[in-house]
Amino acid sequence: MRTQVGIVGGGPEGLLLARLLGRAGIECIALERRTPEYLRARIRAGLLEQGTVDILTQAGVGDRLARERLIHDGLEIAFDGKRHRIDLKALSGKVVTIYGQAEVQKDLMDAHDAMGTEIVYEADDVSLHGLTSDTPRLRYSKGGQTHEITCDFIAGCDGFHGVSRQAIPQDVVRIYERVYPFGWLGMLSDTTPVNHELIYTNHERGFALCTMRSLTRSRYYLQVSADEDVDDWSDDRFWTELRRRIPADAAAVLQTGPSLEKSVAPLRSFVAEPLRYGRLFLAGDSAHIVPPTGAKGLNLAVTDVRFLTEALVAFYKSGQSDLLDGYSDRCLARVWKAQRFSWWMTNLTHRFPEALPFERRAQGAELAYLVGSKAAQTALAENYVGLPLG
């Protein structure tokens, strides 16, 4: 088989890339290890920057998003039992969108079904070959048969645990990493969200986040230890713990109900540089992970896809390779700003088991400074809504 761009991974990122390339008349094939049913059901984060909404709309998958999304003008930060609102719109001129990543995935899959894109689900043993040649190849097996695809370029959109990054020789990648001493326990339920905007709470028992998927579906997160067993968390235990951490006036109106899903995710900051090796281009989680505190994961991944699409389109339309050559640096400039922000917001809102008393007091002072300073709130707001593309 032969294609122009071979894509490894059929997550939001691989599928968005396939969609943008397809619409630009560039052929591609995507290889995804999981089944379509698994991908449709996978629960992820749910906050989109305006730039992400714009590119999804440009990709022709913005209709349901426009109908169903919730627009948030602000958010709340709570500590010492008190809530403080940060007016994102007044401070930055921009708003954010609540729309689940699972919905983005479904919209993309439906669009590809309609368009007839070649997506191979349940592709096993994917491997990458000839990356420094002009004809890199993807090999995979399905139904007991081995297949090979010869490509012009390969896009590694297979997430943190994928094979693309591993295909780069270790001596040419530099890894930057910070693993946090805790995780997030998430729970989804068909209950009215406790507040119409998000509440990020710093509490002595640990961080808590109140978010949502719709006006009738809540999503809550609790800071737990990194090796926490989700089976130790009954619904009752979750609700009791959440009520203890969030401010009393929110706890008083918290609606509880059966969980639809619960899971624990570790927190990590990670960057692999550069994002290119020969004809392989990494994009999204395969190259970088942020802790979820600033909700930057999907938004950053989408920016990589946007830059990669621009570079590939320039190459195929006019033979120009300068955008391909600049791809890694262009992405990294943005990635590092989002890394810094996600790390800062994680440090601000979580309780670190090993924090010195000095560090705890400095964290309290930083929270007090934030809610008392328009300059500090503006800095949060402009990062939270998404920095300009640059």
Rule CB under 6 A: choose which of 47, 61, 157, 168 binds ligand PHB.
47
We find the least distance from the C-beta atom of residue 213 to ligand PHB, in angstroms, to be 7
Query: Which of 293, 309, 339, 349 is the binder for ligand PHB (CB under 6 A)?
Result: 293
- 3 belongs to the binding site for ligand PHB (CB under 6 A): no
Residues in the chain: 390
Q: Does 292 qualify as catalytic in the annotation?
A: yes
Q: Is 384 a catalytic residue?
A: yes
| 201: contact with ligand PHB by CB under 6 A | no
* Stretch in the footprint of ligand PHB (CB under 6 A) among 175-183, 189-197, 257-265, 290-298: 290-298
In the DSSP assignment, the letter for residue 350 is S
Closer by beta carbon to ligand PHB, 223 or else 293: 293
Per the annotation, the verdict on 72 as an active-site residue is: yes
What's the CA gap between 304 and 287, in Å, rounded? 10
Stretch that binds ligand PHB, among 41-49, 123-131, 270-278, 283-291 (CB under 6 A): 41-49
> Smallest distance from the beta carbon of 39 to ligand APR, in angstroms?
6
Q: Which of 181, 249, 185 is nearest to 219 (CA)?
A: 185
Q: Which of 97, 211, 223, 328 binds ligand PHB (CB under 6 A)?
A: 211
Strand partners, 85: 76
Angstrom distance (rounded) from CA 17 to CA 308: 8
What is the end-to-end Cα distance of the chain in Å, rounded? 38
97: helix, strand or coil: strand
285 lies in the binding site for ligand APR (CB under 6 A): yes
Q: Which is nearer to ligand PHB, 8 or 250 (CB)?
A: 250
Say whether residue 45 binds ligand PHB (CB under 6 A).
Answer: yes
Bin 118: left if φ > 0, else alpha if -120 < ψ < 50, else beta.
beta
Q: Please provide the DSSP assignment of 221-245 as one string.
A: EEEE-TT--GGG--HHHHHHHHHHH
Q: Which of 140, 220, 327, 384 is catalytic?
A: 384
Pick one of 18, 53, 55, 126: the residue that binds ligand APR (CB under 6 A).
Answer: 126
> Of 112, 203, 262, 296, which residue is the catalytic one?
296
74 contact, one of ligand APR, ligand PHB, none, CB 5-8 Å limit per kind = none
Torsion 265-267-269-273 (CA) sign: negative
d(CA 73, CA 381): 10
Which tokens belong to 81?
A: 């039992």
Q: Is 123 in the site for ligand APR (CB under 6 A)?
A: yes
CA distances, 93 to each of 69, 194, 389 (Å)? 19, 26, 16
Q: Which window, 38-46, 58-66, 148-156, 356-364, contacts ligand APR (CB under 6 A)?
A: 38-46
Catalytic residue (one of 99, 140, 200, 327): 200
Among ligand APR, ligand PHB, none, partner that 259 touches (CB below 5 to 8 angstroms by kind): none
Q: Which residues contact 89 (CB under 8 A, 6 or more apart)?
A: 73, 74, 95
From the list 91, 112, 113, the residue with the least C-alpha distance to 16 is 112
Q: Which residues bind ligand APR (CB under 6 A)?
A: 8-14, 31-34, 39, 44-45, 101, 123, 126, 157-159, 161-163, 284-285, 297-298, 301
Active site residues: 72, 200, 292, 296, 384
Q: Which residues bind ligand PHB (CB under 6 A)?
A: 45-47, 198, 211, 219, 292-295
